[in-house]
């Protein structure tokens, strides 16, 4: 794994050693479906956050309230136009590695979470190894190519993906569980033509979607509630429209099916 250039955190404390009463998590321990057992599941979990922009940053922040280990994957430094929405970044961090600043912010929020970072995009050469260490991933990249790559690797490895995407005031969210739900290409058999990086984004929308995606991940880890299995949630915050759509697995899907086409 060392050739993946994962910068591994070395000083994350043990939750059980530093906080034997789980007092940091007292309020969520009260939730039906979490409790001490669910909290322990969270502590033992590793979540891969693919993309740590406005959306992935909100996901990471809310998962840092209990998930034991996060792996953040995102290439490049912070730029000024990032700061209308990327809540883990700071003005003083402009020009610095985004994932390293994200780790510093997350450790100020919760020093007990282990945060490993990869200052790179996900690609064919690293995605399988990154997923191997994770229990699940959250897909937050701005381009469909990396989402497709993560979907394929997740189907191969059997790891769930929380799939979250947004444009302007709109978003969609679903949870992909290999063998049990559609994969990304069952839903989008044709490669969509997404705008390049630089599309319109309101921070409140990426933050809203990030919170929803983090909640999906917590449900998957703990077993509480009902994740969006086979259901796609669409939202338009311009008029607060929220709709759910059933999405079906396609037997002919060339990623998770027999490959004969849909
Ligand atoms: Zn499929």
CATH at 134: 3.40.50.720
Residue 184 included in any domain: yes
CA of 144 from ligand 1 middle (Å) equals 15
CA of 131 from ligand 1 middle (Å) equals 18
Residue 180 included in any domain: yes
How far is residue 156's CA from residue 81's CA, in Å, rounded to a whole number? 36
Q: Which whole-number Å values give the CA distances from 15 to 19, 22, 25, 83, 257, in the listed order?
A: 5, 8, 10, 31, 41
Least confident stretch, 17-31, 36-50, 103-117, 124-138: 17-31
CA of 166 from ligand 1 middle (Å) equals 21
Residue 82 included in any domain: yes
35 Cα distance to chain centroid: 23
How many structural domains compose the chain? 1
CA of 164 from ligand 1 middle (Å) equals 17
CA of 207 from ligand 1 middle (Å) equals 28
CA of 33 from ligand 1 middle (Å) equals 30
Residue 6 included in any domain: yes
pLDDT beyond 60 at 16: no
b/e 23-44 (16+ beta carbons within 10 angstroms → b):
ebbeebbeeeebeeebbbbbbe
Residue 256 included in any domain: no
Residue 187 included in any domain: yes
Q: Does the reported pTM lie above 0.85?
A: yes
CA of 159 from ligand 1 middle (Å) equals 14
pLDDT beyond 50 at 173: yes
CA of 262 from ligand 1 middle (Å) equals 9
CA of 253 from ligand 1 middle (Å) equals 5
pLDDT beyond 80 at 86: yes
CA of 94 from ligand 1 middle (Å) equals 39
The boundaries of the domain holding residue 11 are 2-246
pLDDT at 148: 96
CB 41 within 8 A of CB 47: no
Residue 259 included in any domain: no
CA of 247 from ligand 1 middle (Å) equals 11
| Phi, psi dihedral angles at 158 (to 5 degrees) | 75, 20
Helices (H), 64-178: 98-109, 127-132, 144-157
Residue 261 included in any domain: no
């Amino acid at each position: 794994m060392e050739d993946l250039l994962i910068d591994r955190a070395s000083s994350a404390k043990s939750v059980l050693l530093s906080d034997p009463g789980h007092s940091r998590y007292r309020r969520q321990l009260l939730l039906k479906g979490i409790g001490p057992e669910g909290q322990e599941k969270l502590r033992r979990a590793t979540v891969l956050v693919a993309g740590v922009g406005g959306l992935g940053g909100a996901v990471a922040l809310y998962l840092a309230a209990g998930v034991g280990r996060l792996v953040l994957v995102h290439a490049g430094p912070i730029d000024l136009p990032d700061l209308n929405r990327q809540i883990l970044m700071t003005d003083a961090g402009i020009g610095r590695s985004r994932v390293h600043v994200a780790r510093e912010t997350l450790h100020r929020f919760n020093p007990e979470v282990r945060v490993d970072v990869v200052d790179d995009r996900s690609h064919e050469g690293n995605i399988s190894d990154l997923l191997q260490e994770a229990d699940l991933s959250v897909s937050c990249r701005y381009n469909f190519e990396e989402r497709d790559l993560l979907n394929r690797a997740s189907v191969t490895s059997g790891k769930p993906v929380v799939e979250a995407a947004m444009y302007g005031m709109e978003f969609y969210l679903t949870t992909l569980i290999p063998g049990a739900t559609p994969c990304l290409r069952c839903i989008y058999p044709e490669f969509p033509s997404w705008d390049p990086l630089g599309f319109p984004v309101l921070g409140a929308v990426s933050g809203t979607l990030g919170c929803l995606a983090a909640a999906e991940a917590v449900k998957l880890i703990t077993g509480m509630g009902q994740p969006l299995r086979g259901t796609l949630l669409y939202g338009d915050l311009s008029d607060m429209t929220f709709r759910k759509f059933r999405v079906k697995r396609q037997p002919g899907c060339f990623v998770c099916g027999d490959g004969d086409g849909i």
